[in-house]
Chain A
Amino acid sequence: DARVTQTPRHKVTEMGQEVTMRCQPILGHNTVFWYRQTMMQGLELLAYFRNRAPLDDSGMPKDRFSAEMPDATLATLKIQPSEPRDSAVYFCASGPGTSGRTTDTQYFGPGTRLTVL
């Protein structure tokens, strides 16, 4: 049963610290998405990749957030420095990308719950 995996599942850190979240997409999927979910803002798309190339990161605060795909089996989302307002659940999702669009079904990971004190 292929699944998207995310690590860590929970992270508590102090303001100013660097946070790195990792995602392993489903093998063979060529699109990867990073979302943030908060009570206030709901589900927001931060960035997405196709074939490891970033296609859209307009939802991501550029000054502190960065997203990369070092290889096809790993996507990372980094926050440096972290702030309390970054506290949220961060989801990674992957898709087969057969049509090259985000309309393909996205398969979500279980999320990383980040708390910044």
Chain B
Amino acid sequence: AQSVTQLGSHVSVSEGALVLLRCNYSSSVPPYLFWYVQYPNQGLQLLLKYTTGATLVKGINGFEAEFKKSETSFHLTKPSAHMSDAAEYFCAVRGSYNQGGKLIFGQGTELSVKP
């Protein structure tokens, strides 16, 4: 069965610093991988997704993620954090056929940005 582990429930960075949010997945089939962001009191919004093709995926708001099969990772990065990036970030993997092909979400990582 597919699963997702996000390392670190809370990450704090200074404004202008590199953002790195870690996600490792488990999948018995080629994975489809997603990053979503949730701002306070809002629903989730897709940042980016990897299905096939180029392993470096660029998303909205300057975020990108790299699919590394050998490391079973899909870490999210942004070169320079803005205060507006403070939010919760969720990594997700498409579930297996037995899981109905639905998205399996990680537990989330809360990103804080210090001035």
Write the residues of chain A forming the contact surface with B, with a CB cutoff of 8 angstroms: 4, 42-43, 45, 48, 55-56, 58, 91, 93, 101-103, 105-111
Contacts and interface: CB of A to CB of B under 8 A. Distances in A.
Interface core residue of B42, B100, B105 (most chain A CB under 10 Å): B100
B43 A101 contact: no
B95 to A, nearest CB: 8
Interface magnitude class on chain B: 20 to 34
Contacts, number: 52
A102 B94 contact: yes
A102 B44 contact: no
B107 A91 contact: no
B101 A108 contact: no
14 contacts: A43-B44, A43-B90, A45-B102, A55-B100, A91-B43, A91-B44, A93-B43, A101-B94, A102-B95, A102-B101, A103-B101, A105-B49, A109-B43, A110-B43
Interface of B: 32, 36, 41-46, 49, 51, 90, 94-95, 100-103, 105-108
